[in-house]
Amino acid sequence: MLIPERSPQHVAASPKRTASRRTIAGGVLITLAAGSFAATALPAAADEAAPLPDAYLTSDSAWQYSDNGTDPSGDGSLSWTTADADGWAEAAGPFGSKRGEADLGGGFVADTLLQYTLEGSTDTVPTYHFRTDVEITEEDLQQINALQGSITYDDAIRVYVNGTLVAGFADDRVDGAENQNLTYAGNSAGSPVTSTVRIPADALVAGENEIAVALYQDRETSSDIFFDWTSLTPVSKNADQNAQITDLVMGVGATEAERNLAWYSDIDVPQTAQVAKAVDVVDGVFPDTATTFETTAGGDTTSGEYFRDATLSGLEEDTAYAYRVGSDEAGWSDTETFRTQQFDGDFDFLFFGDPQVGASGNLANDEAGWIETMNIATQTYPDAEMLFSAGDQVNTASSEAEYTSFLAPSQMTEIPLVATNGNHDVGSKAYEQHFNLPNEDLEAGAAGSPSASGGDYWFIYKDVLFINLNSNSRDYDSHNAFMEKVVAEQGDKAKWKVVAFHHSIYSAASHATDGDIIERRNTMPATISELGIDMVLMGHDHHYTRSFLINGGELADPDEQAAAGEVVADEGDVLYVTANSASGSKYYNLNTGTDLWWSSVRNQEKVRNYSAIEVTDESLTVRTLRSEANGATSPVNSVVDEVVLSKADVAQDLDVSVDARTRAVAGKQYVSVSVTNNEDAPVEVVVDTAYGSKSFAEVQPGDTASVSINSREGSIPAGEVTVTATGQSGDEQATTSKTAAYAAAG
Amino acid sequence: MKKSVVLRGSVIAFSAALLVSAGSAAMAEEEKDAHGIGVEVEIAPLAGPGALAMTVDGDSTTLVEGESTDLERVFSGTLPKVTVTDTRAPEDVPEDSFWYVVGTASNFHDEQKKSTIDASSLGWTPRLVEGEGEGTPFVEVGGDVSPSEPGLVDQELLYLAESGEANAGGGVFSASADLDLVVPAAVPAGTYSSTITLSLFE
């Protein structure tokens, strides 16, 4: 029989390597010699349940494996998952190869080198096969709900237990393969990634359980292959069913009064989010007055865990809050805190270029650089209200280790994050499982592949309408339709309009001349100018560039001086900003062979940057600073560039706010409309409804004109009112029309 | 003369009736004297401290001819100022309630009671009064009611206010209205009068 590792006092006497049948005998002998297992082996001891083993598999467990590119079943069937693995080699992991070498970089080193290419070919071996057995006693099986394993792999993997498929990662292509035992699969990910596999007790039998693993290479030319089953541990029925909550991140909400939370848990149990004013939470105890928010989404993750989304809404301004996620039954996350600020007026937010943690090959370094930039930025701008990432949060879309590093800064649970979808964030659903995006339209900017992640989304923060595009999709019609719809419906509610997407169209380093970037540059600016977008925030090219003002893809003003400290935008003029790396994981050299006519300021010192963006009624100021010194002359927080963007004094829309609702008076439904004049001068107001109109000759600044118009009906359908305001804006007479909707009544 | 009604408790209406006179165009020059015909007004006890009350600044008004055409004759005038005063203690104001003043007109009859002009021929354009509710978010003016579309035949809103905010906001709010009468040119000459009944509800 197989004796797996037991509780610590026994481990010393047990061999660590326990998996294959041939090592079992040795295990028994040694164990018996130590004597400590004698009691547990006796039936008499069954009254008192023996402690469950610590682990059934570790990295050191032995596997039988086939790495020569043959079909072990011979007929494409799954018979190999339960047949004797006669003639296969046997060794312990990690298994791997990078073009025939054991060191894959990034800390991944194979103990057992796998055959890299097929015999007599330069093509890689498509599929590798592994087998081992796990012995579970009847007694132990009765005590467990499941076995939980952790597997690190590259590129794709499938796990079978006793002939049944129990887990698959990045394995979409296997189903369509001619021979599932000899096929390529994966998502062209970079470094190996780690996933969790859960084997339910009903997939297990008392005695010997046959574990089979198919490991897939991504393509004929893929450089590396890796497999390391690092742990397989019992999940006891008696153990507390405590959820391990990880990856908690506070995202921006639909407005400044909301926060969108997302988190992961290791078990699939009901959870909620709870929020209370911080003063009411004493020693981590939430008061009865805490508000509970149900989850708005949830499900399996690509890494074998479970994700949950929840939105904290109805927040009050200028208030400190505490929150947690989880449940009374399965336990709560740590208590996190955040504070809201004034819901109107000026504000700052922080803008970060491609963190792309893991890109340097040294994840720990990238994480440290990212944390350092985040700390410097938030210490320098302690009132910053948003953390805006230009995309490529991680280097490998499916890498949970990289997500852990990206989410490591403590600010991630305190200040709302805006995650942009970069090219390194697709190829896995992990992006949309990790981030809870407001007003997301999965149809707009949705890439076609099944592993595409996310679409376009928007939100309003104070006086800025933000539109975030998934520029991985080059379906420009769908992006344009999305922007047009959002601007038409929301544009009047904000003074500024800021668009963000990952793939900079006006950058000045290596990507500036990529074919796909040129295509975006030729296509996207027209609509952005037409819609009156003020500024576009971008990344992708790992250096800093600020554009001249651009209108419809051309210089707005050929006389604009390079590096001008202040730029004044006429209608349709747009400032494009490309951020440098915030983590220091990767930099691109400036492009020297191209006419970079759009670039007013460009910088590449290969030190970490961040930008502070100050929003006021009059201007947007983009100040880009070093979060890493470049010699004594350029210390931390020295300024790389600063530009103040304001709007030319054109006839603006009159600032009037409109509210419509219904009320019943004397048995009839009335449509009530309130119009507030936020201008400095009186305005004339005309209110039109389906049931009549009303004129106000002069609504004074700050005043509200309200009218209730009789429908003369007992019940009315939902409808819309139109308000036309006329008055002085600057030196000119302006007329502005606005609509407001009301619900059906009666 | 100031007529006053008081509203005690909620959902009880008190009304003031107001005489509206219209002269015929043939005698337009003679219309300068207002017809001081008495009007019936229900008068509750005068408002003491702690009441929601309505007063009307006069009990009659006169319409004078304006820009008539060969087809129709047009008369206009002004509704005397209507004021609602809320002197209740804040805790006596019902929560989430609003008070409102509605008006409706009776048919016009000539002095001999021989000819009638339908009430639907009279319309109004309510407006709030500067310093007594105009421009205030919680006071809403009624929509315009044009003659014949449908005219002041049923109760129409003059103005309303959110009770709690109005009580806290000083408690004195007033409205008036421009009155318009449009009749066919064929209507017999005469001096006609109608009564507009104003009611305050909460």
HEC per residue, A436-503: CCCCCECCCCCCCCCCCCCCEEEEEECCEEEEECCCCCCCHHHHHHHHHHHHHHHHHHCCEEEEEEEE
What phi, psi does A731 have (nearest 5°)? -95, -5
Going by C-alpha positions, the residue among A387, A320, A307 that lies closest to residue A355 is A387
Domain boundary among A615, A647, A679: A647
Reduced to 3 states (helix: H, G, I; strand: E, B; else coil), residue A312 is strand
**Does the pLDDT at position B148 exceed 60?**
yes
Considering only CA atoms, give the Rg of chain B: 18
Answer for the pair A369, A376: CB distance below 8 angstroms, yes or no. Answer: no
Looking at residues A325-347, what average pLDDT do you find? Answer: 94
Structural domain includes residue A342: no
Q: Quick one: pLDDT band at residue B196, thresholds 50, 70, 90?
A: confident
pLDDT reported for residue A450: 60
- Winning range, highest mean pLDDT, from A263-277, A651-665, B89-103: A263-277
A567 and A703 within one domain: no
Q: Which of B101, B140, B145, B178 to mutate to test the interface with A (most CBs of A within 10 A)?
A: B140
Who among B98, B135, B138 is closest to A705 (CB)? B135
Of A595, A614, A647, the last residue of a domain is A647
Tell me if A330 is assigned to some domain.
no
Report, as an integer, the average pLDDT of B72-98: 88
The mean pLDDT of A149-156, rounded to a whole number, is: 92
A693, A706, A742, best to mutate vs chain B, most B CBs in 10 Å:
A706
More confident residue, A393 or A678: A393
Q: Indicate if A476 and A607 belong to the same structural domain.
A: yes
Q: Taking CB atoms and an 8 Å limit, are A708 and B150 in contact across chains?
A: no
**CB atoms A708 and B157 under 8 Å:** yes
Give how many domains chain A has, as a whole number: 3
Q: What is the mean pLDDT of residues A706-715?
A: 93
Same domain membership, residue A568 and residue A478? yes
Q: Which residues of A touch B147 (CB under 8 A)?
A: none
Token pair 């991944």: residue: A108
Domain of A660, CATH number, reads 2.60.40.2950
User: Encoding tokens for residue A668?
Assistant: 């009839």
**Cα–chain center distance at A512:** 26
Q: pLDDT value at position A52? A: 86
- Give ipTM to 2 decimals: 0.81
pLDDT band at A28 (very low <50, low <70, confident <90, very high): very low
Chain B residue numbers with beta carbons less than 8 Å from the beta carbon of A694 are 141, 143-144
Pairwise CA distance, residues A569 & A572, whole Å: 8
Mean of the pLDDT values across residues B104-115? Answer: 85
Q: Higher model confidence: residue B116 or residue A642?
A: A642
Q: Are residues A580 and A720 in the same domain?
A: no
Contact present, A489 and A508 (Cβ < 8 Å): no
**Whether residues A496 and A603 fall in one domain:** yes
Give the gap in angstroms from C-alpha A660 to the nearest C-alpha of chain B: 12
Average pLDDT in the A303-308 region?
92
Distance CA B195, CA A45 (A): 103
Same domain, yes or no: A680 and A598: no
pLDDT category at A25 given cuts 50, 70, 90 is very low
Predicted confidence at residue A732, as pLDDT, reads 72
pLDDT at A44 over 80: no
What pLDDT is attached to residue A485?
96
The average pLDDT across B26-36 equals: 26
| Residue A579 shares a structural domain with residue A717 | no
The yes-or-no verdict on residue A572 having pLDDT over 50 is yes
Domain co-membership, A630 together with A680: no
CA distance A328 to A261: 18
> Quick one: tokens of B199?
């009611």
**In the numeric block, which tokens belong to residue A637?**
């927080």
pTM of model > 0.80: no
CB contact under 8 A, A710 and B144: no
Percent of chain A topping pLDDT 90: 75
Considering the domain architecture, whether residues A508 and A554 belong to the same structural domain is answered as: yes
pLDDT of residue B51 exceeding 90, the answer is no
Show me where the domains of chain B are located.
3-201
Q: What is the pLDDT of residue B18?
A: 59
CB burial class (10 A; 0-12, 13-18, 19+) of residue A340?
middle
Residue B101 pLDDT > 70:
yes
> Which strand (E) or helix (H) includes residue A406?
helix A400-406
Q: Does A43 share its domain with A127? A: yes
Which pLDDT value is given to residue A730? Answer: 67
Looking at the structure, do residues A693 and A582 belong to the same domain, yes or no?
no
Question: CATH number, domain at A581?
Answer: 3.60.21.10
End of a domain among A177, A202, A236?
A: A236
Same domain? A502 vs A591:
yes
For chain A, what is the mean pLDDT?
Answer: 89
Among A731-735, B24-28, B163-167, where is mean pLDDT lowest? B24-28
Question: Domain containing A179: what range?
Answer: 8-236
CATH classification at residue A68? 2.60.120.260
- Whether residue A30 is predicted with pLDDT greater than 50 in this model: the reply is no
* pLDDT over 70 (residue B7): no
